[in-house]
Amino acid sequence: MGSRSLKLFQLSLCITILLAASKDAFAQGAASDLGSAGAPVGPPGVVLGPGTFDARLYGTVNVYLRDEDGKAITSQRAIVRIFASPITTQPPLPNSPNMTGQMWIFSGVSIGRDYDVEVSLPGYYGAREHVHLPDKFDSTADVIVLMRPIDQELVYHPPNSDFPLPPGAQKEIQRSLDDLQRGQVQSSIKHTQKALQIAPDNPYVQYVMGLTYVLRNQFKEAKPLLERSVSIDWKEPLALSALGTARYRLGDDTGAVEVLNKAVQLDPTMWKAEWTLAVAYLSQRKYADARDHAEQAMKIGKDKAEQVELVLGQALAGLGEREQAAKLFDKFAGEFPSDANAATALKWAALMRQPAVTVSVPTMGAVVPTALGIPPVPPIEIPPRPDWAPPDVDVAKPFVISGATCPLEQVLQAAGQHAQQFVSTLEEFSATEEFQAIEMKRDGSLDKPNAQAYNYFVLVQHVNPTVFQVDEVREQRSQAVNLSARLSDLGVPGLALAFHPTLQDNLKWECEGLGKWNDQPAWVVHFRQRPDRPSVLYLFATPSHSYSMGLKGRAWVSEDGGQVLHLDTDLVKEIQPVDLRREHFSIDYKPVAFQKHNVTLWVPENVDTYIQYQGHFLHHYHHFTNFKLFWVGATQKISEPKEAVQPQNQTQQNQQPQ
């Protein structure tokens, strides 16, 4: 499992990924100071007399509602009820929830039992989640209910492209792709034809229409549509790959090779395009090229590309490597006995072990098992939903007030001072973290969210005046743990340290103007990793290797205070060795103030991470509450935080207690 984290070397930040045992011990010690969640209150062994009521035998269930994107739903129109599990014909419990901030709180619920929480909300399908309230005095359980909108096309966002779609075309294309995922190709064509009437010159619409014909094996109809799409937008690898498939199926091997080579150059992770390219080269009897691309397809696609063994075997036979070809034919027949080519593959395996037959055509090199017919071509790649993540920071165009002159130097100086203050004055902060991980499928469906709650600690160690280190620790039941997800997105507290003076020279800065965040005036600042400077802000780490990751981003910096109110980041380029194509952070910050010190620190409150990794589309959501801060020089004494006074025009949602 890979993980991502921040790092800075000399004069920079270093986030550790795997925590040493000493860190675990410290985390456990810190937790004991804060108090253990769910621990019994009062002396043990209390015996209650008849008729005595003990409030400790009742606990609390906190319910959080989230939409498909993991965003909090706080509508007061939601009807939230709790039932004793399992639900039969019994009515809900009489407990009425108290809505506070982003959660519905059920108090006075008997401990040690299972419950079902049922939610109804206009515009969403009804939803239900199971929750267990532990058998501990005054116990509390949290449950996250994922709400799915009924009219999903209404939340469709424009695709990330230089060729935006009009709203009507967006709706029709989304319906078309939904139909394709369900195998309803004829219905998909009707919707795409409507989109063509609205946006006849849009390359994405042309591509989807061509794709529907490819899936119906109507390659003659698909070819002109895909060629038109590519002629308008020649940088779209999926369209190039689909066109290559259509050309190959129509017998145009040369044309297929031309566009397929462009596709794999634009996206080296397209193992299906590599597969089709190998087949096209095989048809041209260019066996060395066919071998190279077949091997590349198997390297990238791994077990998903096992059938490429047949293509590779034919290429090796053409190169005279008869024994290796025979082994691959045997392997193919054994692994795919029901394949139409399995029996013929066994015959050719036996032929490869016979003495070679001399032929007069030098380009063949040896007997080639062309009688196998057309090798298998990989299935067409249907694109994911265009709205699975927010737009890339270079595509999104934020609102700015025209005519406002941006003092970039002063903005960087003010934000840099806050970054320095965070590092120089803070020794530790802790919080309660609510974490949710969801995987988005290519058909638009969502896996059941994996929700967890953690005690969360950030430790700032001052190695010397110019070197500091920031570590993250998560724990459950006084034990250090990792995030319960395919990937762990670590290092969120350090992303805003891009503004730290020791890092600013590594980035190219541009002030885009004066905008707003939650109705608060803010300078909109864009940054990007400089190619001539080391990329030390972020990395992707596996157990065997680490990859530095250049970032680009956009921050909303308070006009009157220089605090970072919101931050979005993306990768400058994909991390091809690990097939990490996208990682987008969207972070909201909140102020936390010391009661006894004239200092307010802005810390992450809500973090959304969107990750495209090895064919998976992931959404992680972090929500932090109950902040506690430690001062440098203090004897591990917690300074109770208070909410900083918000500007009068701040939105109500940000004013509510979390």
Mean pLDDT of 68-84: 84
Mean pLDDT calculated for residue range 343-368? 60
For residue 212, count other CB atoms closer than 10 A to its CB. Answer: 26
pLDDT reported for residue 554 = 96
- Same domain? For 292 and 426 the reply is no
- Ramachandran assignment for 426, one of left (phi > 0), alpha (psi -120 to 50 degrees), beta (any other): beta
Q: What is the largest CA-CA distance in the chain?
A: 104
> Do 226 and 162 belong together in one domain?
yes
* Distant-in-sequence, close-in-space partners of 622: CB < 8 Å, separation ≥ 6: 433, 434, 435, 492, 604, 606, 607, 608, 609
5/451: higher pLDDT: 451
**Are 140 and 71 members of one domain?**
yes
Given a cut of 80, whether residue 617 has pLDDT beyond it is: yes
167-181 and 185-198 helices cross at what angle (nearest 10)? 170
Lowest mean pLDDT among 25-34, 71-80, 442-451: 25-34
Least confident segment among 86-100, 381-395, 510-524? 381-395
Final residue before a domain boundary, out of 146, 176, 191: 146
Residue 501 lies in a domain: yes
pLDDT at 88: 63
Q: Confidence band (pLDDT; 50, 70, 90) for 8?
A: very low
Q: Are residue 101 and residue 175 in the same domain, yes or no?
A: no
CATH number at residue 204: 1.25.40.10
Q: Give the pLDDT score at 226.
A: 93
Q: What's the N-to-C CA distance of the chain in angstroms?
A: 32
Structural domain contains residue 559: no
Most confident of 232-241, 373-382, 460-469: 232-241
Q: How confident is the model at residue 585 (pLDDT cuts 50, 70, 90)?
A: very high
Cα 466 from Cα 246, distance rounded (Å): 60
- 438 vs 339, more confident: 438
Per-residue pLDDT at 558: 94
Domain that holds residue 119: 56-146
310 contact partners, CB below 8 Å, separation of at least 6: 328, 329, 332, 341, 345, 372, 375, 376
Where are any strands of DSSP class E within 72-187? 79-84, 98-100, 103-110, 113-120, 127-133, 140-146
Q: With a cut of 50, say whether residue 647 has pLDDT above it.
A: no
Q: How far apart are CA 205 and CA 233, in angstroms?
A: 12
Q: Determine the residue type at 563.
A: Q
Alpha-carbon distance 169 to 177, whole Å? 12
Whether the model pTM is above 0.85 = no
How far apart CA 68 and CA 74 sit, in angstroms, is 14
The whole-chain average pLDDT of the chain stands at: 75
Instruction: Select the more confidently predicted residue: 87 or 413.
Output: 413
What per-residue confidence (pLDDT) applies to 20?
Answer: 27
Are residues 441 and 504 part of one domain?
Answer: yes
Residue 386 has pLDDT above 80, yes or no: no
Closest CA to 345 of 371, 324, 318: 371
- 335 and 241 within one domain: yes
Least confident of 195-199, 383-387, 403-407: 383-387
The two three-digit tokens of residue 82, written as one number: 């709790």
- Per-residue confidence band for 288, with pLDDT thresholds at 50, 70 and 90: very high
Confidence of residue 542 (pLDDT cuts 50, 70, 90): low
Residue finishing a domain among 146, 161, 184: 146
pLDDT digits (tens, 9 = 90+) for 305-332: 888 888 999 889 888 888 998 999 898 8
Q: Which two tokens stand for residue 499?
A: 């503004």
Q: What residue type is 35 in one-letter code?
A: G
The gap from C-alpha 283 to its chain's centroid, in whole angstroms, comes to: 39
**Sign of the alpha-carbon torsion through 35, 476, 454, 13:** positive
47 pLDDT band, cuts 50/70/90, is: very low
Percent of the residues in the chain that have a pLDDT greater than 70, as a whole number: 72
User: Considering Cα of 178, then 615, then 583, then 493, what sign does the dihedral take?
Assistant: positive
Of 388, 367, 16, the residue nearest 174 (C-alpha)? 388
Residue-wise pLDDT for 425-465, tens only, equals: 777 778 888 888 888 765 556 666 678 888 888 877 666 55
Please give the residue that has the higher pLDDT: either 364 or 502. Answer: 502
pLDDT, tens digit (0-9, with 9 covering 90-100), for 122-165: 767 678 888 888 888 878 888 888 887 643 322 333 444 677 87
163 & 300 share domain = yes
396-425 burial: b if 16+ Cβ within 10 Å, else e = eebebeeeeebeeeebbebbbebbeebbeb
354 and 467 both lie in a single domain: no
When pLDDT is averaged across residues 195-205 and rounded to a whole number, the result is: 89
With residues binned 3-state (H G I as helix, E B as strand, rest as coil), the percentages for the chain, rounded to 5, are: 30, 30, 40
My answer on whether 289 and 428 are in the same domain is: no
Residues 8 and 80 in one domain: no
- Boundary of a domain, candidates 89, 123, 146: 146
pLDDT value at residue 25: 29
Most confident of 130-134, 361-365, 521-525: 521-525
Output the CA torsion 276→277→280→284 (10° steps).
-160
Cα dihedral 605/128/63/152 (nearest 10): 40
Distance CA 607, CA 628 (A): 18
